[in-house]
Amino acid sequence: MSNRTNGKLLKYIAAAGLAVGGILGMAGTFAPTDALRGLAWGIDGAALVMASALLAIHFFREGQDLGAAGYIVFAVGEGLLLPGAAMDLAASGPSFGAGVSLWAAGLLLISGPRVYPLFVRILGFAAAALFVATAVQIFCRVPLHPKSSPLPFFAYPVLVATLFGWIWTLLSRKDSL
């Protein structure tokens, strides 16, 4: 397989992983049962880790080291969130705080360089700010869990909009990022 074909395939698979992650992440938030929530969030988390790993490779190959590092940090954060998919929400608080703090750090690293369009970068910064606020509260022992409102509940749509901005950018550019 040529490098060009391999790069296109990598972008399509990463875009699919981001889409699955965004859709099932939101669906899990509104799932009628804990079992369905856990299943949706488990698949969501695995898809986001896979997509982030592929995008880290893509950005590294393109010489975008901050973006590559951001996707690695985001994947590590998602890895910390994955066990919480099958846990009681209240019990998942500490690992959730750790995971969203790494989501925030990854989003900042990804959104900083001028790789994505400005509106996508602004969404990334906004999602990072909301997740920083969530993590700070959890680390200060405020009893938040993944479905607490207003945060982190209202941070998810901003994250999903960012994910779809990444997808749009990946698929709309004929050249490399």
pLDDT, position 37: 95
Tens digit of each residue's pLDDT (9 = 90 or more) over 14-35:
999 999 999 999 999 999 999 9
Residue 159 lies in a domain: yes
What is the model's pTM? 0.94
Residue 128 lies in a domain: yes
CA distance 135 to 31: 24
Identity at 64, one-letter amino acid code: Q
Domain range enclosing 138? 3-172
Give the total number of structural domains in the chain.
1
Residue 141 lies in a domain: yes
Per-residue CA distances from 169 to 2, 30, 75, 87 (Å): 22, 28, 19, 34
Residue 177 lies in a domain: no
Low-confidence ranges of the chain (pLDDT < 70): 1-3, 5, 175-177
pLDDT, position 174: 74
